[in-house]
Amino acid sequence: MNLLTPHDGELLLRIARSEIAGAVAQEPKPLIHHFPFMEEKRGIFVTLTKGGQLRGCIGLPYPVMPLGEAIIQAAISAALEDPRFPPVKKEELTKIHLEVTVLTVPVPVEGDPEDRPKKVIVGKHGLIVRGRG
């Protein structure tokens, strides 16, 4: 799995914005995107903010589909299907700030349970927490 470049990130943002605009207008206009990195299965989150406040956030924490499909699904879902917010309206689109977070494949934190917190770097590592049962 390769790290993404700034250009890759800009492309993902353009795709997310285009897909959201098309879905909100009910006129899908998908961008053609055939890049090798889009075929990699990756987890992803798309976060929408408006005026510095959360407006929607949906993601796929596990790499269950190619990145090219995941960005479309997460972007549209964040704009229209986040149950905490009403769907984004066309008039809001110019005020929406997008953030796309592409995840690496999750790996278990190994070692004694008492030592595991020391292995996590805040601001670098994300966590998936599983309860017992």
More reliable by pLDDT, 50 or 29: 50
Higher pLDDT pick, 57 / 127 = 57
Q: Give the separation between CA 3 and CA 87, rounded to whole angstroms.
A: 32
* 40-74 residue pLDDT tens: 999 999 999 999 999 999 999 999 999 999 999 99
Domains parsed from the chain with CATH numbers: 6-106 (3.30.700.20)
What pTM, to 2 d.p., does this model score? 0.86
How far apart (Å, rounded) are the C-alpha atoms in residues 127 and 111? 16
Per 3-state DSSP, the chain is made up of helix, strand and coil in percentages (nearest 5) of 35, 20, 45
Half-sphere exposure of 46 (CA within 13 A, CB side): 27
